[in-house]
Amino acid sequence: MIGSMRELVEQAKSLPGKRVVIAAAQDEAALGAAVEAERIGLAEPLLVGVKAEIERTLEKLGAPKDKFEIVVKNEEMEAVGESVRLIREGRAHVLLKGKTKTGTLLKAVLDKERGLRTDRLLSDVFIFDCPFRREHRIMGVTDGGITPVPTLEQKVQITKNAVEAFHSLGYEKPKVAHLSAIETVSPGIQSTVDAAEIAGMYKKGELENCIVDGPLAFDLAVSKDAAEMKSFVSPVAGEADILIGPTIEASNILAKSLMYTAPFEPGHVIVGARAPVLICSRSESSEAKLNAIAFGCLMAHWQEETH
């Protein structure tokens, strides 16, 4: 079981020959992350895009040009399509967004014929060193990136995606809290109704290899003291590994507030496709980008082993 982001990177390094393909690689943020991943022996980058621009950016980054394989595709759509194809063919394992829009990349990923689509919804899983417990653990927040107002069925898929992501980190039965503003079911707050429904599905055995409860207010999910004071009994209370927010805003705001208050760097990966998809933004630190690549490599390895 991986207990920290540092261990995550170390474990990913030990995996053999993981390849990260960068779609439209002439992007400084993405290329910087890839160069660093190569330098520390985390993954081997495969660069798809405009050769001259890629070489210029490599030079700017002080990286040796001859170390990287470049697949020349001058058009954005072509570069994205080729990157997806390289993953389908098994020549790369993780897809990293370069100089293209997230929407364009995800459209190619979701293409029914040529994409990496599965029967799953895509969702963004944010992970970081858990700041709430003494034990050495990773905590996840989802989905702060893809589905604005998930339906009940979509929340189930978001749950399954996050649980698989945690399986890839070695958590056999991750504890999942469906968050709301309160811990009682109130018809006026739809998220409490949905959370109770999903907890019910778990009790009926419809969600495997995890422990699920909800609705939980945030304090009950992360603090045993709060749960005790409120006499709230739940197998997840105070021990949640995965926090599922009811909307994209709730999850996004939570993940970012944790990033800015706790002294650690996160990593996030879009899961639910045939391969992990990474979106590195300029405002993410270089450490966060490496964490994302490491997380992607572990997910890809786990997917290969189990599917």
Residues that bind its own copies (CB under 8 A): 131-132, 144-145, 148, 179-182, 188-191, 217-219, 222-223, 225-226, 229-230, 245-254, 256-262, 281-283
Between 16 and 188, whose beta carbon lies closer to its own copies?
Answer: 188
- CB 137, min distance to its own copies, A: 15
- CB 226, min distance to its own copies, A: 5
Between 116 and 248, whose beta carbon lies closer to its own copies?
Answer: 248
- CB 103, min distance to its own copies, A: 10
Between 2 and 248, whose beta carbon lies closer to its own copies?
Answer: 248
- CB 187, min distance to its own copies, A: 10
DSSP bridge pairs for 69: 46
- CB 46, min distance to its own copies, A: 27
Between 40 and 152, whose beta carbon lies closer to its own copies?
Answer: 152
Judge contact between 22 and 30, C-beta under 8 A. yes
Torsion of CA 33, 249, 104, 19, to 10 degrees: 30
Between 152 and 181, whose beta carbon lies closer to its own copies?
Answer: 181
Between 145 and 296, whose beta carbon lies closer to its own copies?
Answer: 145
Alpha-carbon gap, residue 198 to 163, rounded angstroms: 14
No. of helices (H) and no. of strands (E), the chain: 11, 11
Torsion of CA 78, 19, 40, 71, to 10 degrees: -30
- CB 299, min distance to its own copies, A: 22
Kindly give, in sequence order, each residue whose CB lies less than 8 Å from that of residue 57, ignoring residues fewer than 6 positions away.
26, 27, 28, 31
- CB-side exposure of 113: number of CA atoms within 13 Å? 0
SS3 36: helix
13, with CB counted inside 10 A (0-12, 13-18, 19+), is middle
Judge contact between 78 and 85, C-beta under 8 A. no
Between 62 and 103, whose beta carbon lies closer to its own copies?
Answer: 103
- CB 252, min distance to its own copies, A: 4
Alpha-carbon gap, residue 107 to 110, rounded angstroms: 5
